[in-house]
Amino acid sequence: MSHIARWVLASLLVVVGCAKRSSEPAPPGLHAAVADSAQAEGALLRVGAPLPDLEAVAQNGERVSLKALSGKPVVVYFYPKDDTPGCTVEAQEIRDAWQELAGTGAVVIGVSVDDAASHRAFAEKYALPFLLAPDPEQRWASAFGVPLKNGRAARVSFVFGRDGKLAKVFPSVKPQGHARELSDALHALGA
């Protein structure tokens, strides 16, 4: 049995309480791989869940508090990285549908692990009218149960009603056409 296999088996036995922890150190990089794998297997927020109590400072300097958005429909969409092809298509489509989305009273927040400076440059380059929240510590991704791959959030979107409850989850977003899906979900809420 390989060193990695022995360590994984010993760790699993510890989890179920059947053995003492292996004294062998984990192979380099295994903790990150296990963390990414565990997060990938984590469950997304389920319909009916309350809006998580999170805060961030958006690209425009505005403090975003999800708790303070109670009474408004809220869209939180996670994406992997600023200014990459798929993420740009998704952001531009949301921008192009902005009048319709904003007309529902919804607050739209894009979230990635990029920092505020990257978000600011991305928003300025493409004239994005919605908020971008930095999540370098991955607190937002964790609270929403969004899987990570190589430290980047998967493309997942959440639509919350005015009651602060999750109404719709898009677990595997395709960038092209997603703005229409968000608009339809908001209109289905009567937003």
- 47 in a domain, yes or no? no
Tell me, yes or no, if 18 is annotated catalytic.
no
pLDDT at 182 over 90: yes
Residue 190: band (very low, low, confident or very high) from pLDDT cuts 50, 70, 90: confident
Q: Could you tell me if 26 and 82 lie in one domain?
A: no
Read off the CATH number of the domain in which 143 is found: 3.40.30.10
- In the set 87, 106, 156, 182, the catalytic residue is 87
Q: Could you tell me if 88 and 170 lie in one domain?
A: yes
As a three-state string, the secondary structure of the chain is: CCHHHHHHHHHHHHHCCCCCCCCCCCCCCHHHHHHHHHHHHCCCCCCCCECCCCEEECCCCCEEECHHHCCCCEEEEECCCCCCHHHHHHHHHHHHCHHHHHHCCCEEEEEECCCHHHHHHHHHHHCCCCEEEECCCCHHHHHHCCCEECCEECCEEEEECCCCEEEEEECCCCCCCHHHHHHHHHHHCCC
pLDDT at 3 over 80: no
**pLDDT tens profile 49-96:** 999 999 999 999 999 999 999 899 999 999 999 999 999 999 999 999
What is the pTM for the complete model shown? 0.78
| pLDDT value at residue 6 | 41
- 112 in a domain, yes or no? yes
Q: Which residues constitute the domain of residue 92?
A: 55-188
| pLDDT value at residue 191 | 62
